[in-house]
């Protein structure tokens, strides 16, 4: 029973952190809040026994925090960080391979890695919608209603965030 409570508590916490992150219009805040959500998702997946997802969520948390740190850097450091995290993501996916569902979360993680280092605004949030769809299968397999809700909420929050970014960009003085 305590483990089941922890599974649900970490899932709900990560869900809330994810949604709050994606409705932000500040690119740095989105990334920092998302990295915290990734760490909580890692714990949630570990408690579910989903080791590939737990490892990739932990990599994701580090990647997203690193992307916040390199957001305004020159192309060289950002490329180096991106390459390192893309390699780490692929390696973790292979080392924790658990059949074709691992492929879906691996592809989602690689897409997120690219998006966090190179995309902003609407394009970043559109990529988050696609990655949510890929993670949805994982959530369904593990019967995690928190992750199912998180993927739906992430997609909706990303759509809303894209609208907010467009609205704030349109209102900005030129």
What are the residue ranges spanned by the domains of the chain?
2-171
Per-residue model confidence as pLDDT tens digits over 76-104: 999 999 999 999 999 988 888 878 778 88
Place of tokens 């780490």: 88
Contact yes or no for 85/66 (Cβ under 8 A)? yes
| Arithmetic mean of pLDDT, 11-39 | 87
Q: Which of 67, 91, 89 is nearest to 79 (CA)?
A: 67
Q: Give the CB-side neighbour count of residue 167, counting CA atoms within 13 A.
A: 9
For residue 28, how far is the Cα from the chain centroid? 14
| Phi, psi at 55, each rounded to 5° | -65, -45
From 6-10, 41-45, 58-62, 151-155, the region with the lowest mean pLDDT: 151-155
Question: What's residue 173's pLDDT?
Answer: 52
Say which residues have a Cβ less than 8 Å from residue 37's Cβ, sequence separation at least 6.
Answer: 14, 17, 18, 21, 61
Mean pLDDT over the full length of the chain: 86
For residue 55, the tally of other CB atoms under 10 A from its CB is 22
The tokens for 163 are 């609208």
The tokens for 61 are 């948390």
Instruction: Kindly calculate the radius of gyration of the chain based on its CA atoms and give it in whole angstroms.
Output: 16
| Cα(42)–Cα(66) distance, integer angstroms | 17
| Cα(174)–Cα(172) distance, integer angstroms | 6
H-only helix segments in the chain: 2-22, 27-48, 51-69, 75-95, 100-118, 121-141, 145-171
| Cα(102)–Cα(5) distance, integer angstroms | 26
Per-residue model confidence as pLDDT tens digits over 98-152: 787 788 888 998 999 999 899 988 888 889 889 988 888 888 888 888 778 888 9
Question: What's residue 162's pLDDT?
Answer: 79
Place of tokens 């990334």: 31
Question: What's residue 93's pLDDT?
Answer: 86
């Amino acid at each position: 029973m305590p483990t089941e409570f922890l599974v649900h508590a970490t899932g709900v916490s990560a869900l809330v952190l994810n949604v709050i992150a994606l409705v932000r219009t500040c690119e740095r805040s989105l990334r920092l809040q998302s990295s915290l959500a990734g760490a909580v998702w890692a714990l949630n997946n570990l408690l579910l026994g989903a080791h590939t997802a737990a490892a990739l969520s932990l990599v994701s948390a580090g990647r997203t925090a690193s992307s916040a740190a390199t957001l305004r850097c020159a192309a060289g450091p950002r490329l180096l960080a991106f390459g390192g995290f893309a390699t780490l993501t692929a390696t973790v996916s292979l080392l924790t391979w658990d059949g074709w569902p691992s492929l879906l979360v691996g592809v989602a993680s690689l897409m997120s890695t690219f998006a966090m280092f190179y995309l902003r605004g609407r394009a970043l949030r559109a990529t988050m919608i696609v990655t949510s769809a890929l993670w949805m299968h994982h959530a369904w397999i593990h019967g995690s209603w928190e992750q199912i809700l998180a993927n739906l909420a992430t997609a909706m929050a990303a759509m809303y965030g894209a609208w907010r970014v467009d609205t704030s960009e349109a209102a900005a003085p030129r």
